[in-house]
């Protein structure tokens, strides 16, 4: 099986260590999500460029203006910048008397985009339709059309484009000529081909989304998709249909809704938040390349980036995980990790196959730790193995998990420190982890983290430099005495590496893939989301038999019908069966005490059923009541 780089040898011209090389790999990887920029014409119009001018020529007359738009998209988080060349072909430029400057305009456009992109963004050479009909319906032959496309793409490649994006094509016959031209110019350069559809989900020539997908796959383009003309809702419906008939990587770049006339101007009304919502839907539907078309701005792209990072953050895993290197028979850099059994008491139990018990206690909101310390002492005396400490659950502002864990461990019981990617960049995470290791914390649960918009501070900024998979890679390297760049740090850390997993995820295939990647990255145990249906957990455990690591089941003792309904409807990743909801409602009708007793009974039943299938349980302390968690063990 060939790798993307082998399929596209032009990538070998870029040093393997270059961020651009890694981005090209990600662009071609069918599982990786990558974000394109938004509209160029909308931004130029907003900056005072009249629509009767040739926007493509601005790369010659006002390169700083174009470069500034590119830079704004870079700042917003776009990973691929499209050149300002949508109409820079011979037939369209002839309308402005510029048909003799095709090469100059396209080369300069690629250069300007590259200046803004640097070495950490890709440049996509944008190619649009010719604006004329092809034979037999028009005067332009297929050969002539292909020659026009070749002329434009040759200049884009010479200017530094990393790939071609053929966009907004309504005629598949014309799009075929553009595809053939791209392969003629450079058979190795990645090609993204996008058709455009109307509200009826058909191209101007009547092709359905399924037709587009099948034809483009047959032509051998690298990424197929849709852009322009309609808003995200219609594009989503079309992408869902395309995903059913092709295994090719899909792209989606919708307009910011449908344009409306407001005061004599065409305005696109979809807000950044709306576009972010649909970006998530598009990724879940199968589109791994997302961006914006007409009406979208850097604000839209920024919101889309933030919206999809929790689903598919930028970094999955560093190439060459320990498991991958061992499987390939290659030497693993760094020192051998300290044996799991020697890192912590929890690690020793996990290594020997003993059943472990833990209670989850949320950190305090303020600086008063008296109740936390009292609970820690009580749980230690009761023989509980560890206290799990969430890190800003549901994007709430509480005492940090590391500080809370250190306070807990003063009382003779180990902490399992949750550590989220949401709030720190890569350097901040590295600093935190080195400090935690030096202070003696050992047990970690590495999570991506809930987006800030879930919590009480929706304007807070999420970071998500990496996700839980990338973080697992990072900690596994620290355990070998290496930093993310594989530079020695001296004495290795001694972390016991845990990850989260959701047995009842909405997209079980995606969750299973991520779990496999986490194990490949170095995960040594997993803790599940709260389980209310043991049968679903058992089914999930069967599905991971090939990559089985110790699994600790999450158990949540419900305290009321309202508590059950809240978890079922408002907490992502938690599923409460109807039977459990009904039991809690019936108990609640009797009294609050009956509801608490019923919730504990349900938790005990779940614990007893899963005990033989997992290596431990984590019991949550609802509303901070550790005594309720203790009753589950009774």
Please write the tens of the pLDDT for every residue from 479-533.
999 988 778 899 999 999 999 999 988 778 888 888 998 999 999 999 998 888 8
* Residue 43 pLDDT level (bands cut at 50, 70, 90): very high
Residue 211 DSSP one-character state = H
**pLDDT > 60? residue 51:** yes
4-308 and 344-557+612-633 have identical folds: yes
Among the four given CATH numbers 3.40.190.10, 3.20.20.330, 1.10.10.60, 3.30.70.360, the one describing domain 4-308:
3.20.20.330
* Span of 34-38, 102-106, 152-156, 564-568 with lowest mean pLDDT: 564-568
Kindly state the tokens that stand for 342: 């020697």
* Span of 57-66, 86-95, 109-118, 454-463 with lowest mean pLDDT: 454-463
Structure confidence by residue, pLDDT tens digits, 10-19: 443 566 657 7
Sorted by where each begins, the domain ranges of the chain are 4-308, 344-557+612-633
Cα(154)–Cα(386) distance, rounded to whole angstroms? 63
**pLDDT > 50? residue 129:** yes
Q: Bridge-partner residues for 529, per DSSP? A: none
Q: Are strands 265-268 and 259-262 parallel, antiparallel or unpaired?
A: antiparallel
Q: Which residues of 43-59 are buried (b: 16+ CB within 10 A; e: fewer)?
A: bbbeeebeeeebbbbbb
Cα(209)–Cα(214) distance, rounded to whole angstroms? 9
List CB contacts of 411: < 8 A, sequence separation 6 or more: 373, 376, 377, 380
The larger pLDDT score, comparing residue 573 to residue 411, is at: 411
Cα(492)–Cα(524) distance, rounded to whole angstroms? 17
The fold adopted by the segment(s) 344-557+612-633 is: TIM Barrel (3.20.20)
Which pLDDT does position 304 carry in this prediction? 92
When pLDDT is averaged across residues 81-91 and rounded to a whole number, the result is 97
**pLDDT > 60? residue 456:** no
Which pLDDT does position 104 carry in this prediction? 97
* Residue 21 pLDDT level (bands cut at 50, 70, 90): confident
* Residue 308 pLDDT level (bands cut at 50, 70, 90): confident
Alpha helices, DSSP H only, in 63-141?
63-76, 90-93, 102-117
Q: Rounded to an integer, what is the distance from CA 461 to the centroid of its chain?
A: 16
Q: What is the largest CA-CA distance in the chain?
A: 88
Structure confidence by residue, pLDDT tens digits, 611-628: 999 999 999 988 888 998
**pLDDT > 70? residue 438:** yes
Peptide bond into 265 cis (omega under 30): no
**pLDDT > 80? residue 263:** no
Which pLDDT does position 468 carry in this prediction? 87
Structure confidence by residue, pLDDT tens digits, 275-303: 988 998 999 899 999 999 999 999 999 99
Per the prediction, the chain carries an average pLDDT of 88
* Residue 427 pLDDT level (bands cut at 50, 70, 90): confident
pTM confidence score: 0.58
| DSSP per-residue string spanning 525-587 | EEEEEE-S-HHHHHHHHHHTGGG---EEEEE----SHHHHHHHHHHSTT----HHHHHHHHHH
Cα(359)–Cα(384) distance, rounded to whole angstroms? 8
* Residue 33 pLDDT level (bands cut at 50, 70, 90): very high
Q: Are strands 287-290 and 414-420 parallel, antiparallel or unpaired?
A: unpaired
List CB contacts of 409: < 8 A, sequence separation 6 or more: 415, 440, 441
């Amino acid at each position: 099986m060939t790798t993307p780089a082998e399929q596209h040898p032009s990538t070998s011209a870029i040093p393997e260590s270059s961020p651009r090389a890694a981005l090209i790999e990600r662009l071609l990887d069918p599982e990786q999500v990558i974000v394109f920029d938004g509209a160029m014409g909308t931004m130029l119009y907003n900056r005072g460029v009249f629509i009767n001018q040739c926007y493509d020529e601005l790369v010659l007359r006002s390169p700083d203006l174009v470069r500034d738009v590119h830079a704004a998209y870079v700042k917003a988080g776009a990973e691929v910048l499209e050149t300002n060349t949508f109409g820079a072909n011979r037939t369209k430029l002839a309308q402005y008397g510029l048909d003799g400057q095709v090469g100059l305009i396209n080369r300069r456009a690629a250069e300007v985009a590259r200046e803004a992109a640097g070495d950490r963004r890709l440049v996509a050479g944008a190619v649009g339709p010719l604006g004329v009909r092809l034979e037999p319906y028009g005067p332009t032959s297929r050969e002539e059309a292909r020659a026009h496309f070749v002329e434009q793409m040759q200049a884009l490649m010479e200017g530094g484009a990393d790939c071609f994006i053929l966009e907004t094509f309504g005629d598949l016959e014309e799009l075929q000529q553009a595809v053939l031209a791209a392969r003629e110019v450079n058979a190795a350069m990645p090609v993204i081909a996008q058709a455009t559809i109307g509200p009826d989900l058909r191209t101007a020539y009547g092709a359905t989304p399924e037709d587009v997908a099948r034809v483009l796959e047959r032509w051998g383009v690298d990424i197929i998709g849709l852009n322009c003309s309609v808003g995200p809702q219609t594009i989503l419906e079309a992408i869902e249909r395309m995903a059913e008939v092709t295994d090719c990587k899909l792209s989606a770049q919708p307009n910011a809704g449908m344009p409306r006339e407001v005061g004599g101007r065409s305005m696109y009304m979809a807000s950044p938040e709306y576009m972010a919502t649909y970006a998530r839907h598009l990724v879940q539907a199968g589109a791994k390349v997302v961006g914006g078309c007409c009406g979208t701005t850097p604000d839209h792209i920024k919101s889309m980036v933030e919206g999809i990072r929790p689903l598919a953050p930028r970094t999955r895993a560093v190439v060459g995980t320990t498991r991958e290197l061992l499987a390939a028979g290659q030497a693993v850099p760094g020192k051998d990790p300290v044996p799991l059994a020697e890192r912590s008491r929890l690690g020793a139990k996990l290594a020997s196959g003993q059943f472990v018990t833990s209670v989850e206690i949320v950190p305090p909101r303020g600086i008063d730790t008296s109740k936390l310390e009292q609970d820690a002492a009580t749980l230690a005396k009761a023989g509980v193995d560890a206290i799990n400490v969430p890190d800003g659950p549901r994007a709430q502002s509480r005492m940090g998990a590391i500080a809370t864990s250190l306070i807990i461990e003063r009382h003779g019981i180990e902490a399992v420190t949750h550590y989220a990617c949401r709030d720190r960049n890569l350097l901040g995470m590295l600093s935190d982890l080195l400090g935690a290791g030096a202070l003696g914390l050992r047990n970690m649960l590495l999570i991506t983290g809930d987006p800030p918009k879930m919590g009480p501070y929706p304007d807070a900024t999420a970071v998500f430099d990496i996700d839980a998979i990338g973080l697992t890679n990072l900690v596994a390297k620290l355990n070998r005495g290496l930093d993310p760049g594989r530079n020695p740090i001296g004495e290795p850390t001694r972390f016991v590496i845990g990850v989260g997993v959701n047995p009842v995820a909405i997209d079980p295939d995606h969750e299973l893939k991520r779990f496999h990647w986490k194990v490949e990255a170095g995960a040594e145990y997993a803790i599940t989301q709260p389980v209310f249906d043991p049968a679903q957990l058992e089914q999930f455990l069967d599905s991971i038999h090939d990559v089985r690591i110790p699994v600790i089941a999450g158990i949540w003792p419900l305290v009321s019908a309202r508590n059950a309904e809240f978890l079922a409807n408002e907490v992502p990743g938690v599923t409460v069966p109807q039977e459990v909801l009904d039991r809690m409602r019936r108990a609640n009708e009797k009294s609050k005490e009956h509801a608490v007793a019923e919730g504990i009974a349900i938790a005990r039943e779940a614990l007893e059923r899963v005990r033989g299938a997992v290596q431990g349980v984590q019991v949550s302390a609802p509303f901070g009541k550790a005594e309720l968690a203790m009753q589950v063990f009774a």
